[in-house]
């Protein structure tokens, strides 16, 4: 049976690698994205995976987008909540909008997508939700109270929802990446990045494919006994 997966923010960076890994695992993948049509088109040309645009921070847009996928592609078995943004700054410089937008997209997106897809998974007796957290949600990070709070919230959200899905065959897990070589990390100033890499025991940034392999495992039938967990893939930077 072919499983149907939605990967939010699935058209570039870590999300692209996840979309490709799930496709390679035999799943039918729909990659959601937020607004960059050009990158989405290039992604579809590269991978043959369909891309659909909606804002994961918008409750109604998630309802509509997921209903359309269900109608046109089939019932959604797997959701990977990967879409994420940063609006960094110290608390003194961070505006209310910077706070709210990161909460809306990064944490609100998980709620909105689960509201749209989790009930159907439960009814059908099988489902997988993987929420992409962050090492900075586990340990905090200077200049990221918004991002760290949203990502930390994802870890709590995961453990709570896992309890609601467990008896119905729906697993809910988080994956917390360390620093991965994507556009998001390219935005970090070079001197700051050098200091970060110096703290990674394996001595390098991670690759998107290394995260994608972990997600592919959590989405597989083999991972049916794994739920409410956080898989850390971070080169040894955070070990507890
Ligand atoms: P990128 O910035 O490279 O890509 C982000 C993706 O999310 C894009 O596809 C983007 O779409 C999409 N997106 C952004 N906002 C929305 C929205 N409102 N609705 C729908 N899609 C949206 O990010 P990364 O690949 O680096 O990160 C992926 C995830 O991994 C994020 O959740 C991030 O927080 C997390 N993470 C990343 C780490 C890293 O080191 N890179 C470390 C730890 C966690 P579009 O192209 O249209 O803008």
CB atoms within 10 A of CB 25: 16
User: Which ligand 1 atom minimizes the distance to the CA of 14?
Assistant: 25
Query: 9 CA to middle of ligand 1, Å?
Result: 6
Cβ(154)–Cβ(106) below 8 Å: yes
CA of 52 to the centre of ligand 1 (A): 15
**Measured from the CB, is residue 234 less than 6 Å from ligand 1?**
no
From first to last of its 240 residues, the chain has per-residue pLDDT tens of: 799 999 999 999 999 999 999 999 999 999 999 999 999 999 999 999 999 999 999 999 999 999 999 999 999 999 999 999 999 999 999 999 999 999 999 999 999 999 999 999 999 999 999 999 999 999 999 999 999 999 999 999 999 999 999 999 999 999 999 999 998 888 888 998 999 999 999 999 999 999 999 999 999 999 999 999 999 999 999 987
pLDDT in tens, 84-122: 999 999 999 999 999 999 999 999 999 999 999 999 999
Per-residue H/E/C for 90-152: CCCCCCHHHHHHHHHHHHHHHHHHHHHHHHHHHHHCCEEEEEECCHHHHHCCCCEHHHHHHHH
**Domains of the chain, residue spans:** 4-233
Q: How far is the CA of 44 from the centre of ligand 1 (A)?
A: 17
Please give the backbone phi and psi of residue 123, each rounded to the nearest 5 degrees, phi first: -60, -40
Would the CB of 214 count as within 6 Å of ligand 1?
A: no
- In terms of CATH architecture, what is 4-233? 3-Layer(aba) Sandwich (3.40)
Find where tokens 């706070």 sit. Answer: 99
- Exactly one of 96, 147, 179, 240 is catalytic; name it: 147
Is the confidence metric ipTM above 0.95 for this complex?
yes
Q: Is 147 part of the annotated catalytic residue set?
A: yes
What is the 3-class SS of the chain, one letter each residue?
CCCEEEECCCCCHHHHHHHHHHHHCCCEEEEEECCCHHHHHHHHHHHCCEEEECCCCCHHHHHHHHHHHHHHCCCCCEEEECCCCCCCECCCCCCHHHHHHHHHHHHHHHHHHHHHHHHHHHHHCCEEEEEECCHHHHHCCCCEHHHHHHHHHHHHHHHHHHHHHHHHCEEEEEEEECCECCHHHHCCCHHHHHHHHHCCCCCCCECHHHHHHHHHHHCCHHHCCCCCCEEEECCCCCCC
Q: Summarize pLDDT for 196-210 with one digit per residue, the tens.
A: 999 999 999 999 999
Give the atom of ligand 1 at the shortest distance from the alpha carbon of 12. 9
Closest ligand 1 atom to the C-alpha of 36? 47
113 Cβ closer than 6 Å to some ligand 1 atom: no
Radius of gyration of the chain (CA): 17
**Ligand 1 contact, 79 CB (< 6 A):** no
* Ligand 1 pocket residue status of 82, Cβ below 6 Å: yes
Index of the ligand 1 atom closest to the CA of residue 180: 40
How far, in Å, CA of 148 to CA of 153, rounded? Answer: 8
């Amino acid at each position: 049976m072919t499983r149907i997966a939605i990967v939010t923010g699935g058209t570039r960076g870590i999300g692209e690698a996840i979309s490709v890994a799930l496709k390679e695992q035999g799943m039918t993948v729909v990659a959601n994205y937020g607004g960059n049509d050009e990158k989405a088109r290039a992604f579809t040309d590269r991978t043959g995976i369909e891309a659909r645009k909606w804002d994961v921070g918008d409750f109604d847009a998630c309802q509509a987008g997921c209903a359309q996928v269900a109608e046109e592609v089939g019932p959604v078995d797997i959701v990977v909540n990967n879409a994420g943004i940063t609006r960094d700054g110290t608390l003194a410089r961070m505006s209310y909008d910077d706070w709210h937008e990161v909460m809306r997209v990064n944490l609100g997106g998980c709620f909105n997508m689960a509201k749209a897809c989790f009930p159907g998974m439960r009814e059908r007796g099988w489902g997988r939700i993987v929420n992409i957290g962050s090492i900075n949600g586990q340990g905090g990070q200077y200049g990221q109270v918004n991002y760290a709070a949203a990502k930390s919230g994802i870890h709590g959200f995961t453990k709570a929802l896992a309890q609601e899905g467990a008896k119905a065959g729906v697993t809910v897990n988080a994956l917390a990446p360390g620093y991965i070589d994507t556009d998001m990390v390219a935005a970090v100033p070079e001197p700051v990045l050098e200091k970060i890499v110096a703290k990674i025991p394996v001595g390098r940034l991670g690759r998107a494919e290394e995260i994608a392999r972990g997600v592919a495992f959590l989405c597989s039938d083999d991972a049916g006994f794994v739920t409410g967990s956080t898989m850390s893939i971070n080169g040894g930077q955070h070990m507890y």
